[in-house]
Amino acid sequence: MVVRSRVSSRSRWLVVLVPVVAVLFAAGFSRFMHNTWPSIGTDPAFFQHTGWYVLNGGVPYIDVWDVNPPVPFGIAAVLALFSGGDMLVLHGLSSVVTTLVAAASVLLVGWVAALVTGEDAPAIAAGLTMLVVPELFLLSPGGVRAQVYALFFGALALALSLRDRPFPAGAVAALSAGSWQSGGVFALLVIGMAYQRNGRTGALWAVAGGAVVTAAVVLPFAAAGAFVPMFVETVVATLSAGSPYSLAERIYSLLLVFGYGSLLLPVAFYGWATAAVRDVRERWWIPAGGAFLLLQVLFVDLDGSTDAFLYLAFVALGVAITVERVSTWLSAAPADRGDDTTRTDRRRWMTVGTVAVVGVLVLSGLSWHLGSPALQSTLQTKQQAAEPEGEPLPITPGDGDAPSMQTIYWEKLQPETCHYRLSWNEVRWVSMTDDRLDRRTCDGWPKRTDR
């Protein structure tokens, strides 16, 4: 089955998917405003404060220690510029923009599925599958989160690749990698897709697009003397100071993230296998991306539901391939071969059935994550039992002499030390390197002589 570069101008999948996405994200935003506003979570407070700090002379990775790549800080800095320095306005802008970006990501994944299959039912299935993890629309109103932007840029990069736009695809894929490390998977896929579709010239254009964006992001840090700290914190510390885990614990964590939507995982695996066996030359990137990101959630990073967002996109594409396959079987039933009316009716019922089945899982996902079903409690118990004990750290986040991120954010503080976020990754790194929590700047490799 050849990948289609154009979709019917009617795009009926949008007629179904857009209202669903609009309702759920509007409900998630309203829930946040009613129950939570104007309180702010630690991660959004950190990103948004750093964006404000940049406009006031702060340099990420020197004045602020963090394992995240720089693009979310840049986005937050732009929003801080528009806020005029008002942290409440900044929080409001961040909530609105991140919600819109997350909603657009769902539609982009649906668009990718439509470009791949040329059919409505798979595109609808892909978009709805993105919603079985309700944190996508429940957490995005909370403010800037790196994984949401990595998902948006990554899905857009895939769509641009399928429309034979290798240079912008490479540029946007670089933004995904610059938002969150696992977004680098999209950069690799985009280069491979460009080579597949346009040969060496296409691959070079994709590399060039990525190189331009990478240079634009990295060079300012190099000019500020922050290149080495950025490399140490986003690459070395990320690889060496991750949380201890067992495979069983990660599997239980993944099942907890997907909840009842876990029923779609074998459906997605079948879709990946179908793409690998029946059309590997055109669709190799779907099982490849899914496998890479499955390894990420199982062996690299799964500290919460947001860490599974990129993997969720490829689960959605796997479901789309399976739906396309089932639709093909139904359309080619021997008793009705050649009957165009019957074939159309079957495709229509296939679309209705897809919306009904996946829609039930989306609603069930809300009951899973907002309620406390017995199965959830059982999985949580098994997850905790599977957590490795590890060696106790000599320090904890509570040992740092810094206010909470919420206080730092609302009072617009410029902390005197670079270690004030004090995530567990940060604490593990400080412990591993015999570094100090009271370092004024994080200007390179930690040295024992600093003690």
Provide the greatest CA pair distance for the chain.
81
Sign of CA dihedral 118, 122, 124, 129: negative
Is 206 a member of any domain? yes
Cβ atoms of residues 57 and 80 within 8 Å: no
Is 450 a member of any domain? no
Please calculate the CA angle 404-177-233 and round it to the nearest 5 degrees.
45
- Per the structure, the count of domains in the chain is 1
d(CA 283, CA 272): 9
Minimal CA–CA distance to 420: which of 411, 433, 407? 407
Per-residue pLDDT of the chain (451 residues; tens, 9 = 90+): 444 444 444 578 999 899 999 999 999 999 999 998 899 999 999 999 999 999 999 999 999 999 999 999 999 999 999 999 899 999 999 999 999 999 999 999 999 999 999 888 899 999 999 999 999 999 999 999 999 999 999 999 999 999 999 999 999 999 999 999 999 999 999 999 999 999 999 999 999 999 999 999 999 999 999 999 999 999 999 888 888 889 999 999 999 999 999 999 999 999 999 999 998 889 999 999 999 999 999 998 888 899 999 999 999 999 999 999 888 877 666 554 455 556 666 667 777 777 788 888 888 888 888 888 888 999 999 998 998 876 778 888 877 778 999 999 999 999 989 999 988 889 889 888 877 888 888 877 766 544 4
Is 321 a member of any domain? yes
Is 395 a member of any domain? no
Is 286 a member of any domain? yes
Kindly list the distances between the CA atom of residue 391 and the CA atoms of 15, 359, 394, in Å, as whole numbers in the listed order: 54, 44, 9
Kindly list the distances between the CA atom of residue 131 and the CA atoms of 31, 125, 296, 359, in Å, as whole numbers in the listed order: 16, 10, 21, 9
- DSSP letter string over 169-183? HHHHHHHHHHH-GGG
For residue 45, give the amino acid letter: A
Cβ atoms of residues 343 and 336 within 8 Å: yes
Is 404 a member of any domain? no
Cβ atoms of residues 382 and 402 within 8 Å: no
d(CA 166, CA 176): 15
Please calculate the CA angle 364-319-176 and round it to the nearest 5 degrees.
95
Please calculate the CA angle 96-10-168 and round it to the nearest 5 degrees.
55
Task: Report the first-to-last Cα separation within the chain, whole angstroms.
Answer: 63
Domain range for 55: 14-386
The whole-number pLDDT of residue 199 equals 93
Q: At what angle do helices 340-370 and 120-129 cross, to 10 degrees?
A: 0
- DSSP letter string over 60-106? BTTTB--SS-SHHHHHHHHHHHHHTT-HHHHHHHHHHHHHHHHHHHH
Is 19 a member of any domain? yes
Cβ atoms of residues 153 and 183 within 8 Å: yes
Structure tokens at 253: 């964590």
Helix (H, G, I), strand (E, B) or coil at 363: helix
- DSSP letter string over 268-335? HHHHHHHHHHHSHHHHTHHHHHHHHHHHIIIII--SSGGGGHHHHHHHHHHHHHHHHHHHHHHHT-GG
Sign of CA dihedral 231, 311, 281, 2: negative
Please calculate the CA angle 343-346-349 and round it to the nearest 5 degrees.
155
| Residue reference for tokens 């991140």 | 98
Q: At what angle do helices 146-162 and 184-223 cross, to 10 degrees?
A: 120
pLDDT tens for residues 261-284?
A: 999 999 999 999 999 999 888 999
Is 306 a member of any domain? yes
